Amino acid sequence: MMRFLTTFVNIIAAIIAIFTLSMIQIEFSHKDINAIMSSRSFESTEEFSQMLHERIDETFTLINLKKSFESNNRLNYDALVAESLDKENGIKKWTINDCLDEAKKHGLMIDTDYNVIRNEDSTTIPFSRSNLYNFMLKLYPSTVRTGAQTEEDFLTEFMETLSAYHKANRDLTGNLTNFKYIVNFQDDLSEKDLTYKNTDLSKSDILDSPIFIYISSKENIVSSSINSITSQELNNLKSINPHPDMNFEVYYTIDNSYPASDNFRASFVNYTDTKNRCATLLTLTILSSILFIITLAINLMLILRLKKNVEENKSILTQIHTEVYIFVYIFALVVLIHIAGKITSTTLPLMPYNFTAARYYFYVLAAYIPTLLIAQVFASKYADDSLTLSSVKAIKENVDRNDYTINPRTLFVGTLIPVLSFIAISIYLVHLFSVTNDVKILALAFFIFVATLSFTIYILYLYREFNKAIEAEARSNDMRTTLITNVTHDIKTPLTSILNYAEIITEEIKHPQKDSKENLIEYSNALINKSNRLNELINDLIFDSKISSGNIDLDMQKIDLNAFINQLSAEFSDRLAEKGLKIVYENNAKSTFISADSSQLYRVFQNLFSNIFKYALENSRVYIELKSTKSKIKIIMKNIQKEKLEVGTDTLKNRFVRGNKSRSTEGFGLGLSIADNLISSMNGTFEIKTVKDQFTTTITFLIYEA
């Protein structure tokens, strides 16, 4: 019952996901869903930006037309707009009324939406092509200010200009628009000042509003809270300036609560509804997809628990190789999707109204059925521990036999079926291209072929990398053995000495001699020295282990490296002088402050100076230099080695590794390992380099930033 319920819910979730995906396709097929969902607000959309630019241009259009068509802020139908001269009528004066009456005779009118329309009926008088007017002037903006023009051209131009006036007036009337403006024209010579506005807001009120635009032609300033407003806006307004002899200063704002029922509000409501619908559909898609995955997982878990089911189907499920199931799955997927394509290419009575969206149902259903089946088969094989590719199984058997190489047969078996499958798909797509001549199908076939080739190359790369990993593991095992041997040697040596001196002291106490007291003091001191050496080794091991595991607490502080190195140089110079070593310090860093733990940094340099004392050529120089880049600072220490290194610099930082393999020198080979781990813990890098007999240590830190 439980499996039936989860399967039922699983199918319902799949249907909901497919349905919501189809609805997204139906409603948003021509829209960018990413752009819809990623837009922070309506004001950040391209649609808002386009309307805003139109309104800005309309303000100057309206101001320009007000001069021609208005008196006392009202449309003056008796206003003179043009004068013409012809042989029959002499000088003819054209008022707005004259133009409207004449246009009406010829069927030219302005409708309720302020669009110019032609109404041709029995009362309409056709325009005469031979009736030319020679215009002496036009008092409204016109591309043809003077000269001969037919009556049709003149009246059409005038009606379109009057239509633009009405539209601008409608879009910019104070209470009917959310777009507010104050436009001020100034003439510096005559101190003339003209102001046009559609709001009671002050200039400061506009500048304090969330959406504002300020443009000044005199100061060449464009300031705005809208990113799409650039300096190009100033150039546009200069080109249509209705008072070209005057500078202008404009203030624009938009009430983003959109109280007025204008185009801004309509677009805002549509944007909000669209985004909400899109968000709802996407949320349903995501939730149903999650429910689909959860119920599928529960269904698979139930299969895993039914061992009886596995035993009953063992001959079918477990004896067939996993690669065969994969091949059958891919083949079934291709066939079912092809069938789905055939079904959707015919007209069916129950097909949804959006044919493209219907394909989602068929394609997803075609992919869902074999996927659900193979998932259950794989779950059953997993329960029986038989869900293994033959190539992986062969690798496992090789590892069990301590054979760490991949033989070519195993590699061939592991890649043959998927490679052949994808090649077959490519061939099938090429066949489709030959039928449909659709270049996209050919491109897909080419892409799959290239991907298959890349997959084959990648498998070969994995083969090489796998063998490299095996070699690295072998080296790691050798290093582990060497490490144990070295630790044993370094612990055993002082421990043997301690036991020997303890036995000598015991014998001396049992059989005292004349100078027993002096002998006992000598043996006790030796015993203490060996014990201290053993204790030092153990402490270094514990400390190195803590650093490696990240269990050390660091007190990070601001440190002046210049002062720090000067102090260290003074402290160690006397000891180095015993071997004729002289420190040469040079500071070429612009900033010398870093963030580090001073006590642990001291420990690092103590190890480095100790190594210089042990291994540097006597009577030579030790160079220390500070160098900095924009964000990093480097401490470079150089010295000449008295003996050639017997190991590579890449292994010197490992535990118990010394430059001298004979292990005759002092120390345990932990100093550089501890130094490397400490520097890494303090967010720095520690590098070692040798060129002939020159030994260079480079420590890099980030420059301290407050």
pLDDT digits (tens, 9 = 90+) for 129-141: 777 888 888 988 8
Is the pLDDT reported for residue 22 higher than 80?
Answer: no
What is the spatial distance between Cα 306 and Cα 300, in angstroms, rounded to a whole number? 10
Q: Report how far apart, in Å, the C-alpha atoms of 466 and of each of 399, 414, 462 are.
A: 12, 14, 6
Judge if 576 and 603 occupy the same domain. Answer: yes
Alpha carbon of residue 687 to chain centroid: 33
Judge if 51 and 186 occupy the same domain. Answer: yes
Of the residues 197, 220, 254, the one at which a domain ends: 254
Please indicate, yes or no, if residue 395 is contained in any of the structural domains. no
What is the spatial distance between Cα 58 and Cα 52, in angstroms, rounded to a whole number? 10
Q: Which is nearest to 679 in space by CA: 534, 561, 536?
A: 561
Q: What is the pLDDT of residue 115?
A: 92
Please indicate, yes or no, if residue 407 is contained in any of the structural domains. no
Is the pLDDT reported for residue 308 higher than 50?
Answer: no
223: containing domain: 44-64+179-254
Token couple for 504: 């000598």
Confidence of residue 216 (pLDDT cuts 50, 70, 90): very high
Confidence of residue 404 (pLDDT cuts 50, 70, 90): very low
Count the neighbouring beta carbons within 10 Å of the beta carbon of residue 703: 18
Judge if 590 and 665 occupy the same domain. Answer: yes
Count the neighbouring beta carbons within 10 Å of the beta carbon of residue 314: 14
Judge if 160 and 206 occupy the same domain. Answer: no
Token couple for 157: 């131009």
Sign of the dihedral defined by the CA atoms of residues 120, 122, 123, 125, in that order: positive
Judge if 133 and 196 occupy the same domain. Answer: no
Judge if 612 and 682 occupy the same domain. Answer: yes
Is the pLDDT reported for residue 656 higher than 60?
Answer: no
Q: Which is nearest to 165 in space by CA: 60, 71, 270?
A: 60
Judge if 563 and 670 occupy the same domain. Answer: yes
Please indicate, yes or no, if residue 619 is contained in any of the structural domains. yes
Is the pLDDT reported for residue 26 higher than 70?
Answer: no
SS3 470: helix
Q: What is the pLDDT of residue 296?
A: 74
Q: What is the pLDDT of residue 97?
A: 93
Please indicate, yes or no, if residue 695 is contained in any of the structural domains. yes
Q: Please state at what angle helix 516-549 crosses helix 439-510, rounded to 10 degrees.
A: 170
Q: What are phi and psi of 284, to 5 degrees?
A: -60, -40
Token couple for 377: 């088969």
Which helix (H) or strand (E) segment is 71 a member of? strand 70-71
Please indicate, yes or no, if residue 382 is contained in any of the structural domains. no
Q: What is the pLDDT of residue 12?
A: 82
Number of folded domains in the chain? 3
Which has the higher per-residue pLDDT, 80 or 455? Answer: 80
Please indicate, yes or no, if residue 517 is contained in any of the structural domains. no
Judge if 88 and 206 occupy the same domain. Answer: no
Q: Which is nearest to 301 in space by CA: 99, 502, 7?
A: 7
Token couple for 421: 């499958």
Which has the higher per-residue pLDDT, 237 or 664? Answer: 237
Q: Which is nearest to 486 in space by CA: 672, 667, 608, 649?
A: 667
Of the residues 155, 171, 187, the one at which a domain ends: 171
Judge if 675 and 566 occupy the same domain. Answer: yes
Judge if 146 and 88 occupy the same domain. Answer: yes
- Based on its alpha-carbon atoms, the radius of gyration of the chain, rounded to whole angstroms, reads 45
Strands (E), 207-335: 212-216, 221-224, 247-254
What is the spatial distance between Cα 680 and Cα 702, in angstroms, rounded to a whole number? 12
Which has the higher per-residue pLDDT, 435 or 114? Answer: 114
What is the spatial distance between Cα 701 and Cα 680, in angstroms, rounded to a whole number? 10
Residue pair 624/561 in contact by the 8 Å Cβ criterion: no
Of the residues 254, 285, 303, the one at which a domain ends: 254
CATH number where 653 lies: 3.30.565.10
Mean pLDDT value across the chain: 77
Is the pLDDT reported for residue 668 higher than 50?
Answer: no
Q: What DSSP designation does 175 have?
A: G
Judge if 630 and 578 occupy the same domain. Answer: yes
Mean pLDDT across the stretch 376-382? 68
Question: 189-206: buried (b, 16+ CB within 10 Å) or exposed (e) per residue?
Answer: eeeeeeebbbbebeeeeb
pLDDT digits (tens, 9 = 90+) for 380-398: 666 666 666 655 555 555 5
Q: Report how far apart, in Å, the C-alpha atoms of 652 and of each of 465, 472, 640 are.
A: 25, 17, 17
Judge if 152 and 217 occupy the same domain. Answer: no
